[in-house]
Amino acid sequence: MQEKLATAADMEVARKLGLNADEYAAICGHLGRQPNFTELSVYSVMWSEHCSYKNSILWLKKLPKEGPRVLAGAGEENAGLMDLGDGLAVCFKIESHNHPSAIEPYQGAATGVGGIHRDIFTMGARPIASLNSLRFGSLDKPRTRHLLRHVVRGIGNYGNAFGVPTVGGEIYFDPCYHTNPLVNAMSVGIVRHGQTVSAIAEGVGNPVFIVGSATGKDGIHGATFASADLTENSAESLPAVQVGDPFQEKLLLEATLEVIRTGAVVGMQDMGAAGIACSTSEMSAKGGVGIDLWLDKVPTRQADMLPFELLLSESQERMLLVAHKGQEQKVLDVFEKWDLPCVKIGVVTEGPNIRYYWHDELVGEIPAASLVLGGGAPRYEREMKEPAYMAQVRAFDAGSVQDATPDEVPAVIRHLLATPSIASKRWVTRQYDSTVGAANRTHNLPGDAALVNIQGTDKGLAMTTDCNSRYVMADPERGCALAVSEAARNIACSGGEPLGVTNCLNFGNPYNPEVYYQFAHAILGMKAACERYGLPVTGGNVSFYNQSSDDGPVYPTPTIGMVGYLPDMRTGSMSSHFPQAGLQVAVLGPLVDEVNCSEYLYSYRGVTYSPAPFLDMDVEARLQQVLPQLIRKGLIRSAHDVSDGGLAINLLESGFHLGVGVNIRRAGNGRLDSYLFGEAGGRVVVSYMPEQEAAIRAACGDLPFTVIGETGGDALVMDGRTLIPLAEARDLYNHAIGRYMDAQGS
């Protein structure tokens, strides 16, 4: 073992590695002695927020994770796994790569995509679709344009080369994300029952292999880097950003799925945050065993790497694999076929310790369970208090805001269409390949959720990412419930049955009591919505420390990733676009007289603080039941939920694809701006043949149903007055982001 450091020196090293005095004392307790530098480095990454969830796990445990279709729930494996019937299962997860993307946007985003796909195929599932959720500052700032340009290139280049289509996502722009952009990546895969593999080490004497790319110094202390605020000196941490190789990952995918089929694999885990240190400790702790690890045998691409660097490196496209003793050659043959390094670097032992060797010298020994979540990793519940600004939210008086006049409405519509958060994201999506490698056919017809047909079946999956962070800022509990509700509504509008939730919880510093209040109450809102809709939370990611001294914390952004199931894509899928003229148009759900937290109120009227929009979870649950029934029975021709920008934007978006206008009449007795631009939840616009109305009303039962007009013409018209021609609206909507990017450069 290495010579012990003096206590004072150890404490200073621990502090620099992000460990406090109590944590250092706990480490000494687990070891029965002072740690050496290698051991302390391992604890520092494994007990970082990024790996241990030490400030969030007590709240995460409140989320529902049981359900009749759940095969692998939250915390059990690398990703959630849910049954689709007929021997098929869907595997899905979303994670953040925020800090790396703020410092080096191209590689930060690219490696975020690579990492989330590895979580899926390490379990034996083949990724079939990728989604993302992105947040940036104001597009009139050069930094924002630079970040957007390079994040999008990173996502597109990695995903396109890897061969998995990018099928959906969302992008919002707000000044609060100027320093701290959010880059959340989601992967969805398909696997047959019995062909999955667990992230576990078992069987004393079984060999441990490292497979995939060689190890370098990129990403060292990346988990620690992700567990601190960004500062003006964060660029000095650039070596903590990994470098990705999508072509190597494609080989690793195929080799991984093939080696699982040999039956030689006991367990496997990808190397993401904290690298070898994380994979060995989590797999050992899960199996209740130890591992002897020979670090000098790890293939490297840089000379003279030290033991702690090998343990902490986050070099991409690597796996840790435990094989059955005596079946090593099967494993070696598969990886040789795919021209990938596969080297035995350890052996499973009785445990409970992981022992690290360097040229036969023992350089570290740690009880595996002491490192991991659910074991010895610390768990905290921080101080919280209601944010001071919420007094201004409660004080909002809608009566103090001028209603839109009929003459003013066209100007409001033009403003909203050109607002980057609402406008078409085609500047972004045209850089993604939505069909690459799509043996599982992607349905490109525009809809509220992305649709993918499962190869060899008529079954389909609907998938989406959703969160309006302004709603969560105004009311963390209701705002997060609204995010869950919108995701489920989008799945239902496309014909799917919502199955389960994965989340990416992006917040500021948890030591800030106001931030922790936002986090805790967002969890309560997610819990309430998921329980009401019968949706298990199958896993996800917490990303704290998204704040800076200049900008403060970002808006609380609990991104919801959701997957839904379509039993038969031939009859059960639905577009959001009006298919023809002569259809009736109706709103399912209540007409609510409010403009709370709407884009209209925020960016047109300049009101920063107002309550979160209306939410009735009973109405939302009813919509989730009714919409798939209407679609499967062929009663409606389109369905599109009312969200950002309100009814006016919904109707225009519904007409853009085929150039079908709509004539509506004002309904209800409320304000004109609330009718056209309010963003209250629980509303969906449907179109249908007039003769189907009685059947639709019967299916809706007590769900509010209001006929507002009919399709036809080439404009949005209300009460005989043209609000905007469709061609002009489409031009504003389609080119708003491109005009920023092309005219002002990066």
For the question of residue 50 being annotated catalytic, the response is yes
Phi, psi (rounded to 5 degrees) for 37: -65, -40
Q: Among candidates 51, 454, 430, 33, which has minimal Cα distance to 224? A: 51
CB-side neighbour CA atoms (13 Å) of 739: 11
Secondary structure E strands in 507-612 = 537-543, 547-548, 552-553, 557-566, 584-588
User: Tokens at residue 237, please?
Assistant: 């941490």
Q: Considering 30, 50, 178, 221, which one is annotated as catalytic?
A: 50
d(CA 699, CA 402): 39
CB-side neighbour CA atoms (13 Å) of 466: 26
The H or E element spanning position 209 is strand 207-212
Q: Is 439 exposed, middle or buried (0-12, 13-18, 19+ CB in 10 A)?
A: exposed
Cβ-based neighbour number of residue 360 at 10 Å: 7
Grouping H, G, I as helix, E, B as strand and the rest as coil, residue 660 is coil
Contact status, residue 95 vs residue 184, Cβ threshold 8 Å = yes
d(CA 129, CA 168): 9
C-alpha of 482 from chain center:
16
d(CA 372, CA 351): 15
Q: Considering 30, 97, 150, 577, which one is annotated as catalytic?
A: 97
d(CA 400, CA 86): 58
Q: Among candidates 275, 352, 311, which has minimal Cα distance to 31? A: 352
d(CA 191, CA 257): 10
Return the active site residues.
50, 97
